[in-house]
Structure 1
Amino acid sequence: MEYKRAKQETEGTKWRKISEVLFIWTLGGCFYYLLEIAFRGFSHWSMFVLGGLALCFCTFQGTSMHWSEPMWIQVLRSVIFVTALEFITGIIVNKWLGLAVWDYSDQPLELWGQICIPFMVLFSGLIVIGIFLGGILSHRLYKEDKPHFFVL
Protein backbone atom coordinates (compact mmCIF):
# COMPACT_ATOMS: atom_id res chain seq x y z
CA MET A 1 0.00 0.00 0.00
CA GLU A 2 2.85 2.40 0.85
CA TYR A 3 4.50 1.67 -2.50
CA LYS A 4 1.29 2.47 -4.38
CA ARG A 5 0.83 5.76 -2.51
CA ALA A 6 4.47 6.74 -3.13
CA LYS A 7 4.10 5.91 -6.83
CA GLN A 8 0.93 8.03 -7.07
CA GLU A 9 2.70 10.96 -5.38
CA THR A 10 5.61 10.61 -7.80
CA GLU A 11 3.21 10.53 -10.77
CA GLY A 12 1.37 13.57 -9.43
CA THR A 13 4.66 15.45 -8.98
CA LYS A 14 5.73 14.57 -12.52
CA TRP A 15 2.47 15.85 -14.05
CA ARG A 16 2.58 18.99 -11.90
CA LYS A 17 6.11 19.72 -13.15
CA ILE A 18 5.09 19.12 -16.79
CA SER A 19 2.14 21.48 -16.29
CA GLU A 20 4.44 24.09 -14.76
CA VAL A 21 6.95 23.94 -17.61
CA LEU A 22 4.24 24.11 -20.28
CA PHE A 23 2.48 27.01 -18.55
CA ILE A 24 5.67 29.05 -18.05
CA TRP A 25 6.84 28.28 -21.61
CA THR A 26 3.47 29.29 -23.12
CA LEU A 27 3.30 32.46 -21.05
CA GLY A 28 6.84 33.47 -22.05
CA GLY A 29 6.14 32.68 -25.68
CA CYS A 30 2.93 34.70 -25.76
CA PHE A 31 4.47 37.61 -23.90
CA TYR A 32 7.50 37.88 -26.18
CA TYR A 33 5.53 37.26 -29.40
CA LEU A 34 3.04 40.02 -28.51
CA LEU A 35 5.84 42.35 -27.42
CA GLU A 36 7.48 41.97 -30.83
CA ILE A 37 4.20 42.64 -32.60
CA ALA A 38 3.69 45.77 -30.47
CA PHE A 39 7.17 47.15 -31.22
CA ARG A 40 8.04 45.75 -34.66
CA GLY A 41 4.60 45.19 -36.13
CA PHE A 42 5.30 41.51 -36.83
CA SER A 43 6.88 38.42 -35.32
CA HIS A 44 7.67 34.81 -36.20
CA TRP A 45 6.72 31.53 -34.52
CA SER A 46 10.37 30.96 -33.63
CA MET A 47 10.16 34.01 -31.34
CA PHE A 48 7.33 32.33 -29.46
CA VAL A 49 9.57 29.30 -28.87
CA LEU A 50 12.53 31.51 -27.91
CA GLY A 51 10.48 33.65 -25.51
CA GLY A 52 9.05 30.55 -23.85
CA LEU A 53 12.45 28.98 -23.36
CA ALA A 54 13.80 32.26 -21.99
CA LEU A 55 11.06 32.54 -19.34
CA CYS A 56 11.50 28.87 -18.42
CA PHE A 57 15.21 29.44 -17.88
CA CYS A 58 14.66 32.65 -15.89
CA THR A 59 12.22 30.80 -13.65
CA PHE A 60 14.02 27.50 -13.18
CA GLN A 61 17.47 28.96 -12.64
CA GLY A 62 15.96 30.68 -9.61
CA THR A 63 13.97 27.73 -8.30
CA SER A 64 16.89 25.34 -8.74
CA MET A 65 19.04 27.59 -6.52
CA HIS A 66 16.11 28.14 -4.09
CA TRP A 67 16.30 31.89 -4.82
CA SER A 68 19.46 32.10 -2.74
CA GLU A 69 21.54 34.13 -5.18
CA PRO A 70 21.54 37.91 -5.66
CA MET A 71 19.47 39.26 -8.54
CA TRP A 72 22.54 40.45 -10.48
CA ILE A 73 23.89 36.88 -10.67
CA GLN A 74 20.52 35.55 -11.82
CA VAL A 75 20.26 38.28 -14.44
CA LEU A 76 23.82 37.71 -15.66
CA ARG A 77 23.28 33.94 -15.93
CA SER A 78 19.99 34.46 -17.76
CA VAL A 79 21.40 37.10 -20.13
CA ILE A 80 24.21 34.74 -21.12
CA PHE A 81 21.74 31.88 -21.67
CA VAL A 82 19.21 33.96 -23.61
CA THR A 83 21.92 35.55 -25.76
CA ALA A 84 23.38 32.13 -26.60
CA LEU A 85 19.88 30.87 -27.38
CA GLU A 86 19.19 33.90 -29.58
CA PHE A 87 22.47 33.34 -31.42
CA ILE A 88 21.74 29.64 -32.04
CA THR A 89 18.16 30.42 -33.11
CA GLY A 90 19.42 33.19 -35.40
CA ILE A 91 21.95 30.91 -37.08
CA ILE A 92 19.27 28.29 -37.72
CA VAL A 93 16.34 30.57 -38.63
CA ASN A 94 18.13 33.45 -40.35
CA LYS A 95 21.26 31.90 -41.84
CA TRP A 96 20.48 28.23 -42.54
CA LEU A 97 16.78 28.57 -43.36
CA GLY A 98 17.12 32.09 -44.80
CA LEU A 99 13.92 33.39 -43.15
CA ALA A 100 15.37 36.81 -42.25
CA VAL A 101 13.42 37.15 -39.00
CA TRP A 102 15.93 39.71 -37.63
CA ASP A 103 19.25 41.26 -38.56
CA TYR A 104 21.46 43.26 -36.20
CA SER A 105 24.13 43.92 -38.85
CA ASP A 106 23.54 47.67 -38.60
CA GLN A 107 23.94 47.69 -34.80
CA PRO A 108 27.19 48.32 -32.92
CA LEU A 109 29.04 45.39 -31.36
CA GLU A 110 27.14 42.74 -33.30
CA LEU A 111 28.11 39.17 -34.19
CA TRP A 112 27.09 37.95 -37.66
CA GLY A 113 23.93 40.04 -37.41
CA GLN A 114 22.41 37.61 -34.88
CA ILE A 115 23.25 39.21 -31.52
CA CYS A 116 24.50 42.61 -30.37
CA ILE A 117 25.39 44.32 -27.12
CA PRO A 118 22.65 47.04 -27.25
CA PHE A 119 19.92 44.39 -27.47
CA MET A 120 21.59 42.30 -24.76
CA VAL A 121 21.23 45.32 -22.47
CA LEU A 122 17.61 45.84 -23.56
CA PHE A 123 16.80 42.15 -23.01
CA SER A 124 18.35 42.28 -19.53
CA GLY A 125 15.43 44.50 -18.50
CA LEU A 126 12.98 41.90 -19.82
CA ILE A 127 14.94 39.23 -18.00
CA VAL A 128 14.51 41.02 -14.67
CA ILE A 129 10.75 41.05 -15.30
CA GLY A 130 10.91 37.38 -16.29
CA ILE A 131 12.73 36.39 -13.11
CA PHE A 132 10.17 38.22 -10.93
CA LEU A 133 7.18 36.91 -12.89
CA GLY A 134 8.43 33.33 -13.09
CA GLY A 135 9.34 33.23 -9.41
CA ILE A 136 6.03 34.58 -8.23
CA LEU A 137 3.95 32.36 -10.55
CA SER A 138 5.90 29.18 -9.79
CA HIS A 139 5.42 29.82 -6.07
CA ARG A 140 1.75 30.78 -6.15
CA LEU A 141 0.54 28.30 -8.77
CA TYR A 142 2.90 25.35 -8.27
CA LYS A 143 3.98 25.66 -4.63
CA GLU A 144 7.67 26.07 -5.48
CA ASP A 145 9.97 27.81 -3.00
CA LYS A 146 8.93 31.36 -2.22
CA PRO A 147 11.27 33.69 -4.10
CA HIS A 148 13.41 36.09 -2.08
CA PHE A 149 14.74 38.77 -4.37
CA PHE A 150 17.76 40.77 -3.27
CA VAL A 151 20.42 42.78 -5.07
CA LEU A 152 23.62 41.87 -3.20
Structure 2
Amino acid sequence: MSRSTMRALAAKYTYLAWFGGSCYVTFEVFWRGRSHWTMFVLAAILFVLIGLLNEIWTSWRLFPQAVAGALIATAAELVTGCIVNIWLGWRVWDYSDMPGNLLGQICPQFALLWVALSALAIVLDDVIRWKFFHEERPHYTL
Protein backbone atom coordinates (compact mmCIF):
# COMPACT_ATOMS: atom_id res chain seq x y z
CA MET A 1 0.00 0.00 0.00
CA SER A 2 1.44 3.37 -1.02
CA ARG A 3 1.99 6.24 1.40
CA SER A 4 -0.68 8.37 -0.29
CA THR A 5 -3.19 5.51 -0.01
CA MET A 6 -2.31 5.06 3.65
CA ARG A 7 -2.71 8.81 4.29
CA ALA A 8 -6.08 8.85 2.51
CA LEU A 9 -7.24 5.86 4.57
CA ALA A 10 -6.04 7.49 7.81
CA ALA A 11 -7.82 10.73 6.88
CA LYS A 12 -11.06 8.87 6.10
CA TYR A 13 -11.10 6.98 9.39
CA THR A 14 -10.08 10.07 11.36
CA TYR A 15 -13.01 11.95 9.82
CA LEU A 16 -15.43 9.08 10.49
CA ALA A 17 -14.25 8.81 14.10
CA TRP A 18 -14.53 12.57 14.63
CA PHE A 19 -18.02 12.60 13.10
CA GLY A 20 -19.25 9.68 15.21
CA GLY A 21 -17.77 11.02 18.44
CA SER A 22 -19.14 14.50 17.83
CA CYS A 23 -22.63 13.25 16.98
CA TYR A 24 -22.79 11.02 20.05
CA VAL A 25 -21.63 13.75 22.44
CA THR A 26 -24.21 16.11 20.91
CA PHE A 27 -26.98 13.50 21.38
CA GLU A 28 -25.85 12.84 24.94
CA VAL A 29 -25.85 16.54 25.84
CA PHE A 30 -29.41 16.85 24.53
CA TRP A 31 -30.45 13.59 26.28
CA ARG A 32 -28.92 14.10 29.73
CA GLY A 33 -27.55 17.63 29.71
CA ARG A 34 -23.89 16.68 29.87
CA SER A 35 -21.22 14.40 28.48
CA HIS A 36 -17.60 13.47 29.16
CA TRP A 37 -14.53 13.33 26.94
CA THR A 38 -14.36 9.55 27.39
CA MET A 39 -17.74 9.30 25.66
CA PHE A 40 -16.32 11.09 22.63
CA VAL A 41 -13.44 8.58 22.46
CA LEU A 42 -15.71 5.56 22.96
CA ALA A 43 -18.27 6.80 20.42
CA ALA A 44 -15.56 7.58 17.86
CA ILE A 45 -14.18 4.05 18.14
CA LEU A 46 -17.67 2.52 18.04
CA PHE A 47 -18.74 4.57 15.02
CA VAL A 48 -15.78 3.25 13.04
CA LEU A 49 -16.22 -0.34 14.25
CA ILE A 50 -19.97 -0.41 13.65
CA GLY A 51 -19.50 1.28 10.29
CA LEU A 52 -17.09 -1.47 9.30
CA LEU A 53 -19.84 -4.08 9.67
CA ASN A 54 -20.85 -3.38 6.04
CA GLU A 55 -17.29 -3.95 4.94
CA ILE A 56 -17.34 -7.51 6.30
CA TRP A 57 -21.09 -8.18 6.19
CA THR A 58 -21.85 -7.79 2.52
CA SER A 59 -25.57 -8.60 2.54
CA TRP A 60 -26.67 -5.00 3.31
CA ARG A 61 -29.18 -6.35 5.84
CA LEU A 62 -29.63 -3.48 8.29
CA PHE A 63 -31.34 -5.13 11.27
CA PRO A 64 -28.78 -7.92 11.84
CA GLN A 65 -25.97 -5.36 11.51
CA ALA A 66 -27.72 -3.07 14.02
CA VAL A 67 -28.07 -5.94 16.49
CA ALA A 68 -24.40 -6.83 16.03
CA GLY A 69 -23.52 -3.16 16.50
CA ALA A 70 -25.58 -3.04 19.70
CA LEU A 71 -23.75 -6.08 21.06
CA ILE A 72 -20.39 -4.47 20.23
CA ALA A 73 -21.47 -1.16 21.80
CA THR A 74 -22.86 -2.81 24.94
CA ALA A 75 -19.68 -4.84 25.44
CA ALA A 76 -17.56 -1.72 24.90
CA GLU A 77 -19.78 0.23 27.32
CA LEU A 78 -19.28 -2.47 29.97
CA VAL A 79 -15.50 -2.47 29.57
CA THR A 80 -15.29 1.33 29.47
CA GLY A 81 -17.65 1.66 32.44
CA CYS A 82 -15.59 -0.77 34.50
CA ILE A 83 -12.49 1.31 33.75
CA VAL A 84 -13.79 4.90 34.02
CA ASN A 85 -16.55 4.43 36.60
CA ILE A 86 -15.46 1.57 38.83
CA TRP A 87 -11.66 1.53 38.60
CA LEU A 88 -10.98 5.26 38.13
CA GLY A 89 -14.11 6.41 40.01
CA TRP A 90 -15.00 9.17 37.51
CA ARG A 91 -18.76 8.47 37.75
CA VAL A 92 -19.43 9.24 34.09
CA TRP A 93 -22.68 7.20 34.25
CA ASP A 94 -24.44 4.87 36.65
CA TYR A 95 -27.25 2.49 35.70
CA SER A 96 -27.53 1.00 39.21
CA ASP A 97 -31.15 2.11 39.48
CA MET A 98 -32.13 0.43 36.18
CA PRO A 99 -33.70 -3.06 36.26
CA GLY A 100 -31.41 -5.81 35.03
CA ASN A 101 -28.22 -3.74 35.23
CA LEU A 102 -24.80 -5.35 35.37
CA LEU A 103 -22.44 -3.63 37.82
CA GLY A 104 -24.32 -0.40 37.14
CA GLN A 105 -22.51 -0.11 33.79
CA ILE A 106 -24.93 -1.66 31.29
CA CYS A 107 -28.64 -2.45 31.32
CA PRO A 108 -31.12 -4.04 28.90
CA GLN A 109 -32.92 -0.75 28.25
CA PHE A 110 -29.82 1.00 26.93
CA ALA A 111 -28.70 -2.15 25.11
CA LEU A 112 -31.97 -1.89 23.14
CA LEU A 113 -31.33 1.80 22.51
CA TRP A 114 -27.97 0.78 21.05
CA VAL A 115 -29.82 -1.19 18.33
CA ALA A 116 -31.43 2.05 17.08
CA LEU A 117 -28.21 4.07 17.48
CA SER A 118 -26.25 1.35 15.67
CA ALA A 119 -28.70 1.38 12.75
CA LEU A 120 -28.33 5.16 12.56
CA ALA A 121 -24.53 4.89 12.74
CA ILE A 122 -24.47 2.27 9.97
CA VAL A 123 -26.58 4.41 7.65
CA LEU A 124 -24.64 7.61 8.40
CA ASP A 125 -21.31 5.83 7.92
CA ASP A 126 -22.44 4.45 4.57
CA VAL A 127 -23.82 7.78 3.36
CA ILE A 128 -20.57 9.54 4.31
CA ARG A 129 -18.53 6.84 2.56
CA TRP A 130 -20.73 7.13 -0.54
CA LYS A 131 -20.95 10.94 -0.74
CA PHE A 132 -17.48 11.96 0.42
CA PHE A 133 -15.26 8.96 -0.29
CA HIS A 134 -16.99 7.70 -3.47
CA GLU A 135 -17.67 4.25 -2.10
CA GLU A 136 -20.65 2.07 -2.98
CA ARG A 137 -24.11 3.62 -2.68
CA PRO A 138 -26.04 2.15 0.28
CA HIS A 139 -28.87 -0.25 -0.57
CA TYR A 140 -30.35 -1.86 2.50
CA THR A 141 -32.84 -4.57 3.25
CA LEU A 142 -34.19 -5.23 6.72
Determine if the TM-score, normalized by the shorter chain, exceeds 0.5: yes
**In the alignment, what sits opposite 1:38?**
30
CA separation in 1, counterparts of 2:114 and 2:69? 10
Whether 1:64 aligns to 2:19 is no
8 Å Cα contact 2:63-2:119 kept in structure 1: no
CA separation in 1, counterparts of 2:6 and 2:135? 14
Whether 1:80 aligns to 2:105 is no
* 2:122 aligned to which of 119, 127, 131: 131
SS across alignment from 1:118: helix
| Structure 2 portions without partners, runs of 5+ | none
* Paired amino acid for 2:93: W
8 Å Cα contact 2:69-2:114 kept in structure 1: no
Whether 1:143 aligns to 2:125 is no
Q: CA offset at residue 132 of structure 1?
A: 0.5
CA separation in 2, counterparts of 1:45 and 1:125? 23
**In the alignment, what sits opposite 2:13?**
21
Q: CA offset at residue 23 of structure 1?
A: 0.5
SS across alignment from 2:104: coil
CA separation in 2, counterparts of 1:43 and 1:91? 17
SS across alignment from 1:107: coil
**In the alignment, what sits opposite 1:90?**
81
Aligned length: 142
Whether 1:113 aligns to 2:101 is no
Q: CA offset at residue 58 of structure 1?
A: 1.9
* Paired amino acid for 2:84: V
Q: CA offset at residue 97 of structure 1?
A: 0.3
SS across alignment from 1:115: coil
**Identical positions, percent:** 33
SS across alignment from 2:66: helix
- TM-score with structure 2 length normalisation? 0.93
SS across alignment from 1:129: helix
8 Å Cα contact 2:67-2:118 kept in structure 1: no
RMSD of the alignment, in Å? Answer: 1.3
The structure 1 segments of at least 4 consecutive aligned residues displaced by more than 4 Å after TM superposition are none
Q: CA offset at residue 36 of structure 1?
A: 1.1
* Paired amino acid for 1:94: N
Of 142-151 and 50-59, more deviation after overlay is shown by 142-151
- TM-score with structure 1 length normalisation? 0.88
